[in-house]
Amino acid sequence: MMENEHNKLYPEDQAKVDAFLKQGYNNVERKPYRPLKLLGILLIMVSTISVGALLLAWISGIH
């Protein structure tokens, strides 16, 4: 409760904040979040790195 009392703005300052937020500088249209696409990209990246590591080990004669 005391934290809210200390964070209150004067009405003039709150009006400035509200006016700034209504200008739309922070309003950005974003594409919908696609978790399966992210999972696919990560799977491709990890597989590529793993195959590269196995190939490097095979060429080096370690494996």
Give the pLDDT confidence of 6-52 residue by residue, as tens digits: 668 899 999 998 888 888 776 778 889 999 999 999 999 999 999 99
What distance in Å separates the CA atoms of residue 9 and residue 30, rounded to the nearest whole number? Answer: 31
Using alpha carbons, select from 44, 43, 63, 41 the residue that is nearest to residue 53: 63
Task: Supply the pTM of this predicted model.
Answer: 0.53
Alpha-carbon torsion (33, 37, 40, 45), positive or negative: negative
What distance in Å separates the CA atoms of residue 4 and residue 6, rounded to the nearest whole number? Answer: 5
**pLDDT score at 2:** 45
**pLDDT score at 1:** 42
CB 63 within 8 A of CB 54: yes
**pLDDT score at 17:** 87
**pLDDT score at 45:** 98
